[in-house]
């Protein structure tokens, strides 16, 4: 039984922002795959909802003239996986999209909901960290754009202000042009399982050496993280198995893994080392770099 006392269904972003201003107690529902579980469990404050389902302008995925890719916050994962812009320019995000849930969940679950629920296991988070994505947020106070790295406040918590909603994810051309990328989700099952670890890598290779390397990790700390020391180590070094192995080892230094029922701290650290090495090697190959044995 769903205890919903108010359901607002605005048909434009402007109307949604105004409704949130007039009633800051409204909670946003997009695909509802997280929210409806809270509602069903009688979660406090979850009986008054504002649905984004009819705000069609938030669903679009587009490529701006300056090369920025704009992903509407309510784009569902099935659409992200199939979208030609994403497939051509952000293939590792397409990999992340198809790794989440099962077909039914991917048809309704949105990328905005995946970020705004603050889950460190969210399958889109590590790739958006590696892509240096920006978030466009809007409220009655106006619009602000922040790096995704500044959005996560702790497990299940994000820096959304009262009356504010996420409208889009922006990926500037400089973040993806000429890169290769790869997302690896490690979970107990191949489908319909939350990540034990998510590793996403974006890199550029020039003359056989790393020119740029970005490593995003999910479930390796209380919030998604990047691996600064491992990334810095790579720059200018040749793409070799040995180098990628060292990058994997250094990636562990950035983590604050903990033991949970899914995996022990030691096991998670082992996964970080091994899967980062694999994701870096694969990304480098996709970026056009052949690795020397």
Q: Which residue is closest to ligand FAD by CB?
A: 113
Residue in the structure block whose two tokens are 């106006």: 142
Chain-centroid distance of CA 177 in Å reads 19
- ∠ CA 111-118-168, rounded to 5°: 35
In terms of CB distance, is 104 or 174 closer to ligand FAD?
A: 104
Token digits of residue 248: 């994997």
Residues binding ligand FAD (CB under 6 A)? 27-35, 52, 73, 100-101, 105, 109-110, 112-114, 116-117, 119, 121-123, 160, 165-166, 192, 194
In terms of CB distance, is 5 or 66 closer to ligand FAD?
A: 5
Query: In the complex, what is the shortest distance from the CB of residue 111 to ligand FAD, in angstroms, rounded to a whole number?
Result: 7
Query: In the complex, what is the shortest distance from the CB of residue 80 to ligand FAD, in angstroms, rounded to a whole number?
Result: 10
Query: In the complex, what is the shortest distance from the CB of residue 230 to ligand FAD, in angstroms, rounded to a whole number?
Result: 24
In terms of CB distance, is 157 or 253 closer to ligand FAD?
A: 157
In terms of CB distance, is 167 or 233 closer to ligand FAD?
A: 167
Query: In the complex, what is the shortest distance from the CB of residue 200 to ligand FAD, in angstroms, rounded to a whole number?
Result: 13
Contacts of 262 (CB under 8 A, 6+ apart): 188, 194, 196
Query: In the complex, what is the shortest distance from the CB of residue 249 to ligand FAD, in angstroms, rounded to a whole number?
Result: 27
SS3 46: coil
In terms of CB distance, is 32 or 289 closer to ligand FAD?
A: 32
Token digits of residue 186: 């490690």
Query: In the complex, what is the shortest distance from the CB of residue 106 to ligand FAD, in angstroms, rounded to a whole number?
Result: 9
In terms of CB distance, is 27 or 278 closer to ligand FAD?
A: 27
Contacts of 96 (CB under 8 A, 6+ apart): 123, 124, 126, 127, 183, 185, 198, 200
Contacts of 189 (CB under 8 A, 6+ apart): none
Cβ 167 vs Cβ 142: under 8 Å? no
Query: In the complex, what is the shortest distance from the CB of residue 109 to ligand FAD, in angstroms, rounded to a whole number?
Result: 4
Cα 149 to Cα 26, 96, 159, distances in angstroms = 26, 18, 11
- Taking the C-alpha atoms of residue 261 and residue 113, their distance in angstroms, rounded to an integer, is 25
In terms of CB distance, is 222 or 288 closer to ligand FAD?
A: 222
Query: In the complex, what is the shortest distance from the CB of residue 43 to ligand FAD, in angstroms, rounded to a whole number?
Result: 10
Cβ 60 vs Cβ 84: under 8 Å? no
In terms of CB distance, is 198 or 289 closer to ligand FAD?
A: 198
Q: Is residue 85 packed enough to be buried (19+ CB in 10 Å), middle (13-18) or exposed (0-12)?
A: middle
Cβ 150 vs Cβ 169: under 8 Å? no
């Amino acid at each position: 039984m769903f205890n919903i006392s108010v359901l607002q269904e605005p048909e434009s972003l402007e109307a949604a922002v105004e409704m949130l201003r007039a009633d800051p107690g409204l909670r946003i529902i997009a695909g509802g795959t997280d929210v409806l579980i809270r509602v069903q469990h009688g979660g406090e404050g979850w009986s008054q909802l504002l649905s984004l389902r009819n705000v069609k302008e938030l669903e679009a995925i587009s490529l701006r003239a300056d090369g920025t890719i704009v992903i509407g916050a309510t784009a569902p994962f099935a659409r992200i996986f199939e979208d030609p812009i994403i497939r051509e320019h952000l293939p590792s995000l397409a990999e992340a999209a198809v790794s989440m849930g099962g077909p039914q969940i991917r048809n309704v679950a949105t990328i905005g909901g995946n970020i705004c629920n603050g889950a460190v296991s969210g399958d889109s988070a590590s790739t958006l960290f590696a892509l240096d994505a920006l978030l466009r947020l809007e409220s009655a106070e106006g619009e602000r754009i922040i790096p995704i790295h500044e959005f996560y406040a702790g497990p299940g918590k994000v820096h959304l202000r009262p009356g504010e909603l996420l409208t889009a994810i922006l990926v500037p051309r400089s973040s993806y042009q000429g890169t290769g990328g790869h997302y690896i989700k490690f979970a107990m099952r191949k489908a319909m399982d939350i990540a034990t670890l998510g590793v996403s890598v974006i890199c550029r290779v020039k003359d056989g050496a790393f020119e740029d390397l970005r490593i995003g990790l999910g479930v390796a700390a209380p919030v998604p993280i990047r691996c600064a020391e491992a990334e810095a180590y790579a720059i200018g070094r040749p793409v070799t198995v040995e180098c990628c192995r060292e990058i994997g080892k250094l990636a562990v230094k950035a983590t604050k893994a903990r033991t949970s029922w899914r995996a022990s701290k030691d096991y998670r650290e082992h996964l970080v080392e091994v899967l980062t090495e694999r994701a870096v090697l694969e990304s480098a190959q996709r970026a056009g770099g052949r690795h020397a044995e």
